[in-house]
Structures are given as C-alpha cells and as structure tokens.
C-alpha cells in the first residue's frame, strides 16, 4: 500500500525518511490530520493536499492587490494604458523574493525542484505565463482584444498542469516548486 506525506499528501517510498515533494520528515504533520489518500489508484492521479489548499488561498490573497491597483489606476488619466504595464510587472515579479504577499501569509516559499533556493531568473520565469496577457494588453486596442483569449489559454494551461501534474505550468517551466516553510 502506498505511503503519503501527512503535510502535503505527496506519495512517498516505503523506506523514505522525508517527503520528496515538501521535505517534511516522514510522519511529521502540520496539524492537518491524517495523510491524504490518492484520488484514484493510478500512479499519475492528482491528489489534492493541504499544500494545494494553501497555494489557492495564497493566490486569492495575491489577486487582491492586483484588483485594488487596477481600480486605482483606472481613475488616473491614461490609466487604461498604464494598468497593463503595472499588472504585468506585478504578476511577473510577485515572487521575486521567493514569497508573494499570499505566500508570506500562508507560509509558503518558491524553491528549485531540488529544494535549494530558487534564483531570480527562475522566479521571473515561473510567472511569465501569468504576466503574458497583461504584456499583450499594453498594445492599445488589438492587444486588449488578444489579451482575452490569451488569458483564457493561460488559465486552461495552468489548470491542465495543476490537475495532471499537481503543479503549475510556471513551476514546471522554471524548474521550481512551492513548499511550506512551517
């Protein structure tokens, strides 16, 4: 019977002393209770974990400053041209320190796949897809029209990776993962 990490729900080898996904010691819990069981018996099945829940909450927290900034910029003359620039910069650089505002609150951090400190290049690269629709929207009229299908495409791509691989496209692209710092 497979073993699962109590902290993140990731599958572990029977003899593992630590989870390969989050690095927590085997049997160490974050207070979330019993280990998550796989959704299906398939080895590639996606398993929802406490870490994933914290990532979703962190994303919701990260969206708040973006919405507030967009509304405020909307009141500035020419704000319709400035807003995509500010939003592209925000989404691209939100993890530049390894933690976005939401990740700080939820005690999460972006690291390299091997668990070492991620580089600034990796952090920018992992958010490039999130910034892309705003970069396109910088171009007046045509960019605004193209940003809508690009946004939908990015959302579909991110969800596809999330539900098939258990990580964002950006993490796969940049060679990063998100871990709990607790």
How do residues 125-147 score in pLDDT, each as one tens digit? 999 999 999 999 999 899 999 99
Predicted confidence (pLDDT) per residue in 97-135, tens digit: 999 999 999 999 999 999 999 999 999 999 999 999 999
Please, what's the b/e burial string for 84-111 (b: 16 or more CB within 10 A of its CB; e: otherwise)? Answer: bebbbebbbebbeebbbebbeebebbbb
> What stretch of H or E contains 61?
helix 50-74
**Do residues 89 and 24 both lie within one domain?**
no
Q: Do 112 and 146 fall within a single domain?
A: yes
Whether the per-residue pLDDT at 84 is higher than 50: the answer is: yes
In a domain, 114, yes or no: yes
Q: What is the pTM assigned to this prediction?
A: 0.71
> What is the extent of the structural domain holding 125?
50-180
Phi, psi of 72 (to 5 degrees): -65, -45
Phi, psi of 157 (to 5 degrees): -60, -50
Q: Cα separation of 145 and 139, whole Å?
A: 10
Contact 93, 126 (CB under 8 A): no
Query: Does 12 lie in the same domain as 81?
Result: no
**Does the pLDDT at position 31 exceed 60?**
no
Mean pLDDT (whole number) for 36-49: 56
Mean pLDDT for 63-91 is 93
How far is 128 from 89, CA to CA, in rounded Å? 10
Whether residue 8 sits in one domain with residue 57: no
Is residue 140 included in any domain, yes or no?
yes
The more confidently predicted of residues 1 and 41 is 1
Residue 155 lies in a domain: yes
Residue 34 lies inside a defined structural domain of this protein:
no
| CA atoms of 58 and 111, how far apart (whole Å) | 16
Residue indicated by tokens 């995509």: 84
Tell me how far apart the alpha carbons of residues 175 and 53 are, in angstroms, rounded to a whole number: 21
| 34 — pLDDT class (breaks 50, 70, 90) | very low
Counting residues of the chain whose pLDDT is more than 70, the rounded percentage is 82
Chain mean pLDDT for the chain? 85
Residue 139, domain member (yes or no): yes
């Amino acid at each position: 019977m497979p073993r699962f990490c109590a902290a993140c729900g990731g599958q572990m080898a029977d003899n593992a002393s630590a989870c390969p996904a989050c690095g927590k010691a085997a049997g160490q819990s974050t207070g979330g209770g019993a280990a998550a069981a796989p959704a299906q018996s398939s080895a590639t099945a996606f398993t929802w974990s406490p870490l994933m829940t914290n990532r979703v909450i962190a994303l919701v927290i990260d969206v708040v400053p973006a919405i507030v900034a967009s509304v405020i910029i909307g009141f500035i003359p020419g704000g319709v041209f400035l807003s995509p620039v500010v939003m592209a910069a925000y989404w691209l650089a939100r993890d530049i320190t390894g933690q976005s505002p939401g990740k700080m609150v939820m005690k999460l951090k972006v690291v390299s796949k091997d668990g070492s400190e991620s580089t600034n290049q990796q952090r920018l690269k992992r958010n490039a897809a999130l910034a892309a629709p705003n970069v396109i929207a910088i171009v007046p009229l045509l960019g605004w029209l193209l940003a809508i299908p690009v946004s939908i495409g990015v959302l579909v791509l991110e969800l596809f990776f999330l539900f098939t691989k258990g990580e964002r496209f950006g993490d796969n692209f940049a060679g990063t993962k998100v871990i709990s710092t607790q």
